[in-house]
C-alpha cells in the first residue's frame, strides 16, 4: 500500500512538472493544458485500478488466514471425551479431590491448582475464601468437568467424574456465577431453563427461597414481566436472585455459588442461605465468597492462596489457626482500624 501511494503521487508530480515545462517552452505547440489534464486523469484511473487490485490481494490474504483458523477450530479434537460405558446415575452430592493438580495447557510451566486433597460429604455446606487469582473458581469448575484434572482425580458420588455421562453429571451440578446471564423473555421463561416442566407453584417457591418473590410481585406483570436481553431492565442483585432461583428449580445434588450474592445485602444473603437448609438439606452447597459473613456458618471453610488450600476448618477453628482468615475477618468486622 505505501508503494502504491508513492507511485500515484509520483505520477501526478511527474505529469504536472514535465507537462508544464513542455507547455511553457513549446508555447502550446508541443502539448497543451487539455492534454496534460487528460494524461493526469488517465494516469490516475490506471493507478487507482492497480490500487484496488493491491487491496484485493490484501483482502484475499487475510481471508486465507481466517479460513485456516476456522478449519483449525472445526478440526480440533475435544479434550473432554465420553467414556465407552458411562455411568448414568449420580448417587449423591459427595465430592472428593484426591491429589489433584491442574494446569490449563499441557505445556504450561505453572499449575493453577496444586496438591488438592478434599473430602466433602453429601449435604455439607462448604465455604471458599481467597484473594483474586487464588484459583477458587478453577477448583469448583473441575466438579462438573468443565476441565479435566492434569493429575489426580475428582469424584462425585464416589465415582470419578471422567466415568460419568457428561450430561448426567452436569444435570446433577448447578452453578450460579457472579456474572449472571438472563435471556430475552418473561421471568417464568427464564426460570424454566432450570426445569422446563416446573409448575407455577414450584417457580414461586424457588423464588421465595431465593428472596426474589417480593420484587417480582412488585412488577405490574409479576412473573410474566418481560426481561430484556442480558437482564438490562433489572438490577444486579435482582439478576443474581433470579439465577439462584433458576438453579434451585433444577434440584441439583451439588449447588455451586461462585460469588453469586456479591450484589445482595448481607440480610438478604443470610435469608437465602437459611432457605437452602430447609429446601435442599441433602444438596451439597459450595459457596465462593469475599465476605466472611457469607460462609461463617458453613460446615467447612477453605482458605485458598496461590492455587493451594492453606487452611480448612470451621469458623472457630480458623479464627484460632489461620492468620489469613483472622485478618480478613478483622478487616470486615472492625473496618481494619485495629492491628
C-alpha cell at 187: 421471568
CA distance 261 to 6: 61
Q: Is the pLDDT of residue 9 over 90?
A: no
Which of 163-172, 176-185, 205-214 has the weakest average pLDDT? 176-185
Q: How many residues does the chain have?
A: 339
What integer is the mean pLDDT of 68-89?
89
CA–centroid distance for 302 within its chain: 23
What integer is the mean pLDDT of 249-259?
90
C-alpha cell at 182: 438472563
Confidence tier at 335 by pLDDT (50, 70, 90): low
pTM here? 0.75
Q: Are 254 and 173 in contact (CB under 8 A)?
A: yes
Query: Across the beta sheet with 254-258, what order do the strands follow?
Result: 173-177, 254-258, 284-288, 125-130, 300-305, 308-313
**pLDDT of amino acid 153:** 94
Report the DSSP beta bridge partners of residue 254: 173, 284
Q: Is the pLDDT of residue 150 over 70?
A: yes
pLDDT tens readout for residues 290-333: 888 888 889 999 999 989 999 999 999 999 988 889 888 888 88
Confidence tier at 233 by pLDDT (50, 70, 90): confident
Amino acid at each position: 500500500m505505501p508503494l502504491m501511494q508513492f507511485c500515484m503521487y509520483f505520477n501526478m508530480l511527474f505529469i504536472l512538472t514535465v507537462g508544464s515545462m513542455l507547455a511553457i517552452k513549446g508555447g502550446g505547440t508541443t502539448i497543451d493544458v487539455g492534454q496534460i489534464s487528460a494524461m493526469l486523469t488517465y494516469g490516475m484511473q490506471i493507478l487507482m485500478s492497480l490500487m484496488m487490485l493491491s487491496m484485493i490481494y490484501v483482502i484475499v490474504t487475510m481471508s486465507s488466514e481466517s479460513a485456516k483458523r476456522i478449519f483449525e477450530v472445526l478440526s480440533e479434537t475435544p479434550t473432554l471425551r465420553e467414556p465407552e460405558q458411562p455411568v448414568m446415575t449420580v448417587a449423591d452430592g459427595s465430592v472428593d479431590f484426591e491429589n489433584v493438580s491442574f494446569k490449563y495447557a499441557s505445556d504450561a510451566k505453572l499449575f493453577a491448582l496444586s496438591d488438592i486433597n478434599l473430602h466433602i460429604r453429601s449435604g455439607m455446606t462448604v465455604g471458599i475464601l481467597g484473594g483474586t487469582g487464588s484459583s477458587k473458581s478453577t477448583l469448583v469448575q473441575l466438579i462438573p468437568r468443565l476441565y479435566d484434572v492434569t493429575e489426580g482425580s475428582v469424584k462425585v458420588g464416589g465415582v470419578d467424574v471422567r466415568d460419568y455421562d457428561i450430561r448426567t453429571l452436569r444435570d446433577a451440578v448447578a452453578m450460579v456465577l457472579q456474572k449472571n446471564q438472563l435471556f430475552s423473555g418473561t421471568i417464568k421463561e427464564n426460570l424454566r431453563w432450570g426445569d422446563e416442566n416446573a409448575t407455577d407453584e414450584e417457580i414461586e417457591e424457588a423464588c421465595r427461597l431465593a428472596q426474589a418473590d417480593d420484587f417480582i410481585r412488585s412488577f405490574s406483570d409479576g412473573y410474566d414481566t418481560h426481561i430484556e436481553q442480558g437482564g438490562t431492565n433489572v438490577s444486579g442483585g435482582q439478576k443474581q436472585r433470579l439465577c439462584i432461583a433458576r438453579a434451585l428449580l433444577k434440584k441439583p445434588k451439588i449447588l455451586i455459588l461462585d460469588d453469586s450474592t456479591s450484589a445482595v445485602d448481607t440480610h438478604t444473603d443470610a435469608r437465602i442461605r437459611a432457605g437452602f437448609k430447609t429446601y435442599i438439606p441433602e444438596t451439597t452447597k459450595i459457596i465462593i465468597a469475599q465476605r466472611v459473613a457469607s460462609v461463617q456458618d458453613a460446615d467447612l471453610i477453605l482458605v485458598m492462596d496461590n492455587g493451594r488450600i492453606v487452611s480448612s476448618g470451621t469458623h472457630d477453628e480458623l479464627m484460632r489457626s489461620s492468620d489469613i482468615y483472622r485478618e480478613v475477618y478483622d478487616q470486615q468486622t472492625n473496618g481494619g482500624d485495629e492491628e
